[in-house]
């Protein structure tokens, strides 16, 4: 990394307060010198996500995620390093210098991303101009038929594709290559011919939380054998599983008010209809099964989610797997019942905002919804089917979060079936667990590190976090288990010799995110809670760890000399090596006896 840019990053992290940034995404609680929150990267009920304001880094003691303020913004906004830097620099009004530290692959990736975003932006304006050109009669007719107000058309940036050839011609004239146009997803190529990927459709721009157009959805205007709706393909800037329609306007809404709950619908029209009716806390999953990435995205804004899918059989059964994913991400999930055969747009048009509000008020907790879905598959007027229904319902009730909730559900099941509460309670105790459709994200795997690795981590962490019994003058006096530990030790020593403060956040610049080295850094940061280095027990453990490392180094040297002796044929050289071996064995005994060498 170029020196000037490294100095810029140091200045940036000095100016940006990581607590102020994190509080825009998380609910923080201060305990001592550390701020705590429930981790945004895995589901947990007890906060284990710690932010050290002084040293400008975060670390989760549950899943091991760690980083500085730049990495935090990267992860929360799902953007690359430089975009996170730009966001933070803009926050503190710090100009970003030009940099040439990237390798060829990184430069090409950034070039591709920038070009794709430019093409998507140009395409959005092209479609918008088409809609206002006077040549989009069928598109306007559809908009009027669906009662979409002009203000909503503008707010959501609707546009029109008039044919299959004008968009590629427009982009070629702008100087874009065929390859980049195809990679952006807006143009298809077949037999050397280019065509608009959404030719002839009404266009819905898909915009991310950074206000960037990343893809398009299109609706056909005539009867066709193809699907009514189609999205442009996944690209370097668009992944359907990581995107929610209208997330850009939801982010703006959060700046003006607290978002108590988010309504999740299936499609573009439902989103716009609810937004126009005053329900601005709405996003769409665009017809896909909900994913862990979308769950994390929702959790940045609220803990409460209302699922409002279509009122037909398929819509109301809407993907229990997806709903479990939301619950396992720590979200409080309710399902909104809609009149049979109606979607949210229909409800707004037929019953108005008040009618839809009544639907929201009747939303069922997820566990109640699961039981209601289950019940549809049985005729409980028949004894055999009733027994099967009760058996399956008890499996669901057993997953309830509290005894009070279980009791309430058992009473409801009693009222439905006529089976006594006492019988249901006895059967509940022996009922098997419901097979979960999606497991919770698991914290890190059990640590199977060697004794030397664990000792190495504790020792280097003691120096890093300035334990009273660890003099930084000695940080390089032992042989550590890995290069990561050596790098940290050299950094600590360098800061000590220069008389400068150790900044833990600086370490994240030394290792590539996602690498084994970065993961090892996270394990060292498990000791960042100062209690790890308090008291006589910690001090004794530190010295035991130092001894372990010195013994490990001695054993390696001894084995190395023994291997040389076995291979050596020269008698005189063998004598020299034997003398060296004896000296090493004496040295090892001194280490074992606690003699400081």
The per-residue pLDDT string of the chain (597 residues; one tens digit each, 9 = 90 and over) reads 455 777 888 899 999 999 999 988 888 999 888 999 988 888 777 899 999 998 899 999 988 899 999 999 988 887 778 888 989 999 999 988 866 555 566 667 778 889 999 999 999 999 999 999 999 999 999 999 999 999 999 999 999 999 999 999 999 999 999 999 999 999 999 988 999 999 999 999 999 988 999 999 999 998 776 778 999 999 989 999 889 999 999 999 988 888 999 999 999 999 999 999 999 999 999 866 788 889 888 988 898 999 998 866 554 554 576 788 888 888 899 999 998 889 999 999 999 999 999 999 999 999 999 898 888 889 999 999 999 999 999 999 998 888 999 999 999 999 999 999 999 999 998 877 655 544 444 455 555 568 999 999 999 999 999 999 999 899 998 999 999 999 999 999 999 999 988 888 889 888 887 788 888 999 999 998 767 888 899 999 999 999 999 899 888 899 998 999 888 888 898 899 899 889 989 888 888 887 655
Measured N-to-C along each axis, helices 483-498 and 451-464 cross at an angle, to the nearest 10 degrees, of 20
In this structure, are residues 537 and 500 in contact, taking their beta carbons and an 8 Å threshold?
Answer: no
Q: Distance between CA atoms of 386 and 394, rounded to whole angstroms?
A: 12
Tokens (6 digits) for 558:
């001894």
Give the per-residue pLDDT at 509.
83
Rounded to two decimals, the pTM is: 0.70
The continuous run of DSSP H or E covering 230 comes out as strand 229-231
Q: Distance between CA atoms of 495 and 386, rounded to whole angstroms?
A: 73
In 10 A of CB 294, how many CB atoms? 25
* Backbone dihedral angles phi then psi of residue 532, each to the nearest 5 degrees: -65, -20
Q: Could you give the residue ranges of the DSSP H alpha helices within 527-570?
A: 535-567
3-class SS at 88? helix
Q: Could you give the residue ranges of the DSSP H alpha helices within 255-382?
A: 268-276, 292-299, 313-316, 320-328, 344-361, 366-375
* Backbone dihedral angles phi then psi of residue 422, each to the nearest 5 degrees: -60, -40
Q: Are strands 66-68 and 57-60 parallel, antiparallel or unpaired?
A: antiparallel
């Amino acid at each position: 990394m170029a020196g000037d840019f490294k100095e810029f990053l140091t200045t940036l992290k000095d100016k940006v307060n990581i607590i102020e940034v994190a509080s825009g995404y998380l609910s923080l609680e201060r305990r001592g010198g550390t701020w705590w929150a429930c981790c945004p990267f895995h589901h947990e009920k007890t906060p284990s996500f710690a932010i050290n304001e002084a040293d400008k880094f975060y670390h989760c003691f549950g899943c091991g995620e760690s980083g500085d303020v730049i990495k935090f913004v990267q992860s929360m906004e799902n953007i690359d390093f430089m975009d996170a830097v730009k966001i933070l620099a803009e926050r503190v009004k710090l100009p970003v210098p030009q940099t040439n530290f990237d390798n060829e692959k990184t430069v090409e990736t950034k070039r591709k991303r920038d070009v794709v975003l430019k093409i998507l932006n140009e395409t959005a304006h092209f479609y918008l101009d088409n809609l206002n050109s006077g040549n989009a009669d069928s598109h306007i007719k559809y908009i009027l038929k669906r009662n979409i107000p002009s203000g909503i058309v503008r707010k959501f940036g609707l546009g029109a594709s008039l044919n299959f050839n004008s968009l590629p011609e427009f982009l070629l004239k702008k100087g874009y290559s065929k390859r980049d146009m195809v990679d952006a997803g807006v143009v298809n190529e077949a037999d050397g011919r280019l065509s608009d990927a959404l030719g002839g459709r009404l266009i819905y721009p898909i915009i991310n939380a950074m206000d960037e157009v990343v893809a398009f959805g299109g609706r056909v205007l005539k009867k066709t054998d193809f699907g009514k709706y189609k999205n442009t393909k996944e690209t370097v800037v668009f992944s359907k599983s990581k995107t929610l329609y209208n997330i850009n306007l939801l982010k703006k809404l959060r700046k003006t008010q607290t978002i108590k709950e988010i309504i999740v619908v299936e499609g573009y029209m439902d989103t716009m209809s609810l937004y126009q009716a005053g329900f601005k806390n709405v996003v769409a999953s665009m017809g896909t099964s909900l994913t862990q990435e979308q769950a994390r995205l929702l959790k940045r804004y609220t803990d409460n989610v209302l699922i409002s899918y279509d009122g037909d059989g398929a819509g109301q059964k809407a993907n229990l797997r997806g709903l479990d994913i939301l619950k396992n991400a720590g979200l409080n999930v309710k399902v909104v019942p809609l009149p049979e055969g109606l979607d949210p747009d229909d409800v707004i048009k037929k019953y108005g905002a008040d009618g839809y509000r009544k639907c929201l008020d009747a939303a069922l907790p997820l566990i109640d919804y699961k039981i209601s879905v289950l019940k549809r598959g049985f005729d409980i007027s028949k004894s055999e089917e009733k027994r099967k229904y009760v058996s399956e319902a008890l499996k669901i009730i057993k997953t309830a979060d509290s005894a009070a909730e279980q009791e309430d559900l058992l009473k409801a099941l009693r009222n439905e079936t006529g089976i006594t509460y006492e019988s249901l309670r006895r059967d509940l105790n022996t009922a098997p667990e419901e097979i979960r459709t999606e497991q919770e994200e698991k914290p890190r795997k059990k640590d199977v590190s060697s004794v030397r690795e664990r000792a190495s981590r504790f020792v280097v962490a003691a120096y890093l976090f300035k334990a009273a019994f660890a003099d930084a003058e000695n940080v390089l006096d032992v042989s550590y288990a890995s290069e990561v530990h050596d790098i940290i030790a050299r950094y600590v020593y360098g800061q000590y010799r220069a008389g400068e403060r150790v900044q833990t956040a600086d370490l994240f610049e030394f290792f590539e995110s996602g690498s084994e080295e970065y993961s090892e850094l996270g394990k060292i940061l498990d000791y960042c809670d100062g209690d790890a280095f308090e008291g006589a027990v910690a001090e004794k453990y530190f010295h035991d760890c130092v001894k372990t490392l010195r013994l490990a180094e001695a054993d390696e040297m001894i084995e190395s000399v023994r291997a040389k002796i076995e291979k050596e044929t020269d008698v005189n050289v063998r004598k020299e090596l034997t003398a060296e071996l004896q000296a090493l064995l004496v040295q090892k005994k001194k280490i074992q006896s606690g003699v400081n060498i």
